[in-house]
Amino acid sequence: MQSMLAPDDSFGKYKLRQEIGQGGTGVVYLADDTESDTPVALKVLAPGLTASAEYREQLATEARLCASIDSPYVVRILDAGDIDGSAYVAMEYVAGEDLRTGVTDWDFQRKIELITQIGRGLHTAHQKGLVHRDLKPENIKLTEEDIPKILDFGLAREVDTEKVDEYGNLEGTLYYLSPEQLSGQPIAPASDIFSFGVICYELFTGCRPFEGEYSASVIYSILHEDPPQPSTINPDLPPWVDAFVMKLLAKQPSDRFQSVREAVTFLQANKDTVAKPGEKWVKERQTATVVDLKNLSGDPNWEYFCEGFTEDVIRELSRRTNLVVTGQPATSYQRNIKET
């Protein structure tokens, strides 16, 4: 979209410095909040989005929810509203690079920590009932201390597969969209889990899992084809990475990790199992699935105990055996999301 504002323009209480980015949802400016004298990232949304009263209501609701997220890994929402018919969201300004350019030379353990931090931020938002819908490297910025911060929660809408540009971009980036988004199904946290898996695949291999010469072939690949296992591209990866990433990228939501928290638990349980420099992994490890401890007491206060017990079993089995251990597809984390 074309910028409607210029440097030094005023927009409500905000004084614009410069445009710093734009995409399908709007234009982002570096601006100063003249009341608090602090820099902010000010996103002025595309007029086509805010023409819908339903979307404006959704935006206001999700902006309030986003403002309540308390995570060091999610950009804080400072303000949202409408000025002269232009909807905007003011966010914490993060000056660093995005995930696309900022981590190319990071080693394995550093990437594990990065993925863990992104996962924790994503899970915190999911607990608030928020789904990102547009998770991709460009929507994750790195601070000067290399801490990841997720941008743009609640700003994406449903995907229209007719709106594909010459670069294969939809509302969100095509390569990171879940099968549910592409097939017009209801969107839940599982959709973000798939997109999270695409990011993890790319971090571990340097390649995207789903490619194609044309947008239609990329869509077909996401819907119907399994990507090569990460270790076939990067043989130095331990085999648990294959199990981790491929579970995130399962076509059916019920076959994925059922929360990002479950995925992070698996990651932390296995992170110290790495190949020695120059060593190639050739033997596959067996897998085991831990069945949830069910709360039969009828007392909801026991739910967190049951969740924690399952996590402990996964962690201890992973630590004490050579198994790749995961939770069962239908887990108690679904209940946790519904209750928030």
Task: Give the integer Cα–Cα distance in Å for 44 and 72.
Answer: 24
Between the CA of residue 232 and those of 201, 227, 229, what are the distances in Å? 12, 10, 6
What the block records as the tokens of 195 is 């997109």
Answer yes or no: are the C-beta atoms of 132 and 124 closer than 8 Å: no
Beta strands in 12-58 (DSSP E): 14-23, 26-33, 38-45
SS3 45: strand
Answer yes or no: are the C-beta atoms of 268 and 292 closer than 8 Å: no
Q: Name residue 143's amino acid.
A: T
Of the candidates 201, 303, 327, the residue with the CA atom closest to the CA atom of residue 254: 327
Please give the positions annotated as active site. Answer: 134
